[in-house]
A and B are shown apart, each in its own frame.
Chain A
Amino acid sequence: MLKLEGLTARGLNAIDLTLADGECLVVRGASGAGKTVLLRAIADLDENGGDAETSHVRRSQVSAPRWRRDVAYVPAEPGWWADTVGAHLTPGRHCTALLHDLGLTEDCLTWQIARLSTGERQRLALIRALEAEPSVLLLDEPTSALDAAATDAVERVIRRRLDGGVTAVIVSHDAGQAHRLATRVGDVADGQLTVTAAGSQP
């Protein structure tokens, strides 16, 4: 569950929205409309107003790190703080399973971050975020650099999380992706987020 209560951020009007467990909101809009601003505001990464809540925590009542462990934001261009892939992950059964699900193997743990392709980075950043088992996923164009097969794998992983009760907000330019994953669709224009049920929009 993700509940936004009068959430405001730079250039965005106040947003009141409740997404139930397992719901997926796909956000669309022109470049610069404020889609990323919205995700960052929910994750509390920039100054913003209002409050938010998940099934576990209320944002105003917990520290920001505690909030972000339950609400995982994966940026379009993720950052890396060590040289190898393995240093960013917690090797173990959970990690191995996630790697396999996304078409990677444990071999990649020794790879140099600098030599990864954009698509590999996107998938590894998703794995990194999923390891902590957050209840809300905020994904900024998670498949923009992936081919059809890898996109399929990422969507399957997201789908399984949704089925398990995770709530997701996904920024995507891929109309097919909205069709496949969204339970609701949000359009950002002129600082306004307009949310409609999936399938009802043209």
Chain B
Amino acid sequence: MTYISLSTADLALASLLIVANGILSLLLGLKLERTLAISMARMVVQLTLVGFILNLIFDLASPLWTGLIALVMVLFAGVEVVARQERKLSTVVSYGLGASAMTFSSVVVTVLALTTQIGPDPWYDPQYAIPLLGMILGNSMTGIALGLNTLTTGMYRDRAAIEAQLCLGATRWQASGPVTRSAMRTGMMPMINAMAAAGVVSLPGMMTGQILAGVPPTEAVRYQILIMFLIVGATGLGVLMTVYGGLIKLTDSRDRLRLDRLQRADDE
């Protein structure tokens, strides 16, 4: 593999583009210069730190440290899911639902890919395990957050229709069927769209990265296809778990609608 290493001076040169944006913001009164500077600083610091940490973890190649990093990634993803809810179940419940569904689906799919298709030695080799988990987690997180949000807002919006069916002797599964289905569809949609657009509208980031690193495009494409399959698999599993978990929380065993367990995001 051949790739061109970047020096700090190269990066400094490219950062002038952001400085140009800042000047533009000042001239046009967009008031974006502050957030622009902070976001840029955050990005540089966060990524630099991650680079050092990953270097360290790769050198250690210990299952313990790899697992620990994976845990931190899941915990942060859980926060993201909670932050994207308009009306949520209590923070603890939303977090628990999102994080456990993501952990289960992402870890199952990642381990499956590592042990069967990619097969590094050892299978938990962080150079493969962590980027793989990161991509699967990041994408399934979006689906899970969307699915849960569609479920809670839909149950709230259609509460009269759902209760009307419960009153006539429908079970909670029957009465909430349309909302549940729409939540799952919404959760799956971004990945389905991404598959359809891949290569035509967008060049997926991972594939692009591999190509830049010197991997022949046909090889990079194989990896990308595998990743897409894994992401879609994990998203489907995660969305299913979250939506059903949410539904169980929003109803009870006497087939009642329990919107009293729901709160506005700005309640707290």
Contact = CB atoms under 8 A, between A and B. Distances in A.
Interface stretch (A21-29, A60-68, A98-106, A182-190): A60-68
B125 interface: no
Contacts of A65: 166, 169-171, 255
Interface string B147-162: 0000000000011111
Contacts of B168: 68-69, 72, 128-129, 132
The binding surface of chain A is classed by DSSP as loop
A77 B160 contact: yes
Given A78-B160, A79-B161, A80-B161, A73 B167 contact: yes
A73 to B, nearest CB: 5
Interface in B166-183: 166-171, 175, 178
A150 to B, nearest CB: 21
B167 A43 contact: yes
Nearest to A88: B164
A44 B166 CA distance: 10
Given A63-B255, A79-B161, A74 B169 contact: no
Contacts of B255: 63-65, 68
B33 interface: no
A75 to B, nearest CB: 7
Interface string A49-65: 00000000000000111
Interface band, chain B: 20 to 34
Interface string B202-231: 000000000000000000000000000000
A75 B161 contact: no
A79 B159 contact: yes
| Size class of the A contact interface (CB-based, 8 Å) | 20 to 34
Interface in A119-163: 125, 128-129, 132
A78 B256 contact: no
Nearest to A47: B256
A63 B230 CA distance: 40
Contacts of B160: 77-80
A81 B169 contact: no
B80 interface: no
B256 A80 contact: no
Interface string A35-51: 00000000111110000
A132 B167 contact: no
B158 A45 contact: no
Given A45-B167, A69-B169, A64 B162 contact: no
A132 B169 contact: yes
B260 to A, nearest CB: 8
B86 interface: no
B167 A81 contact: no
Nearest to B254: A64
Contacts of B175: 81
Given A69-B169, A132-B169, A45 B256 contact: yes
Contact of A72 (B158, B167, B170): B167
A65 B159 CA distance: 17
Interface of A: 43-47, 63-66, 68-69, 72-75, 77-81, 125, 128-129, 132
Given A45-B167, A66-B169, A81-B164, 13 more contacts: A44-B254, A45-B166, A45-B257, A64-B166, A64-B254, A65-B255, A68-B167, A68-B168, A68-B169, A68-B255, A81-B161, A125-B164, A132-B168
